[in-house]
Structure 1
């Protein structure tokens, strides 16, 4: 048989056209995925903010009830430890009746995507470490909890989302 066998497959032009179509689809779809990620981070921080407020309201209300045991911390009138589980373990610290900045994280359900950063004795930053340097403040995508400053100033709750 002298017949040439017919070769099957894609031509170079067909492959280039397919690659160009895939590139166009990627260019169009990528910004939508980036926007979805940003919206998810912003939503996560909003949920943290709401959860922190709810936790503080709950703990504050419980600290005012006589059925929960409390104990003063040294000679400081601003700090109070409370036994919320009734097991004679005073494991929650309140400052002026609200959660201390180091205790707020115990009351929030945080996934592995969140990083906690403390600043001074009053501020706790919980957010996304987008540049992987172990800090969230420089990424400007965080929830800031500031503990109560005095008996008449409740805690502060701020979301910074400009870098999300």
Structure 2
């Protein structure tokens, strides 16, 4: 009599157990994708702000305003300080395309302003900080700076 080919019940159970073990060890690696996407979005915003600040500075240099700290200094309708956009929602919104519609910026604090995801104002002040901070130029020899802050559980 011929033996039928196939898998026994024990072999199938062993394969299922091995697949379960692999799934349990690999699943946490894929669970952190949302936080990685948040960080990548913040890095993209940082690049946008830096690029826009560079363009504004170039326009200011062409107009001879790169050393100006006058309160009414503007380039293409963008308020500037030492050639770079001022740290205000209005100035950054005019310089960065889509900033006002896709992101929210807090109240300026001294020479800096924090921007985060639209509707996520709590990311600006809580322990779960998740934002981009833009600091305007403080002198003609110091450029504006942009940093990403991603701490806590919401963005880590």
Identify which of structures 1 and 2 has the higher relative contact order when contacts are C-alpha pairs closer than 8 Å and 6+ apart: 2
Please say if residues 117 and 125 of structure 1, whose CA atoms lie closer than 8 Å, have aligned partners that are also in contact.
yes
For 1:134-153, list aligned pairs within 5 A. 134=122, 136-138=124-126, 139-153=128-142
Tell me, in whole angstroms, the C-alpha distance in 1 between the residues paired with 2:100 and 2:74: 27
Secondary structure (helix, strand or coil) at the match of 1:118 reads coil
Gaps of 5+ in 1: 1-24, 85-90
Q: Deviations over 1:3-33 (max 9, x none)?
A: xxxxxxxxxxxxxxxxxxxxxx89x75x456
| Structure possessing the higher radius of gyration over alpha carbons | 1
Partner of 1:122: 111
Partner of 1:92: 78
Secondary structure (helix, strand or coil) at the match of 2:141 reads coil
Identify the structure with the greater strand proportion.
Answer: 1
Identify the structure with the greater helix proportion.
Answer: 2
Partner of 1:65: 62
**TM-score normalized with structure 1 length:** 0.62
Q: Does 1:50 align with 2:52?
A: no
The number of equivalent residue pairs is 128
**TM-score normalized with structure 2 length:** 0.65
Gaps of 5+ in 2: 1-22
| Cα-Cα RMSD | 3.4
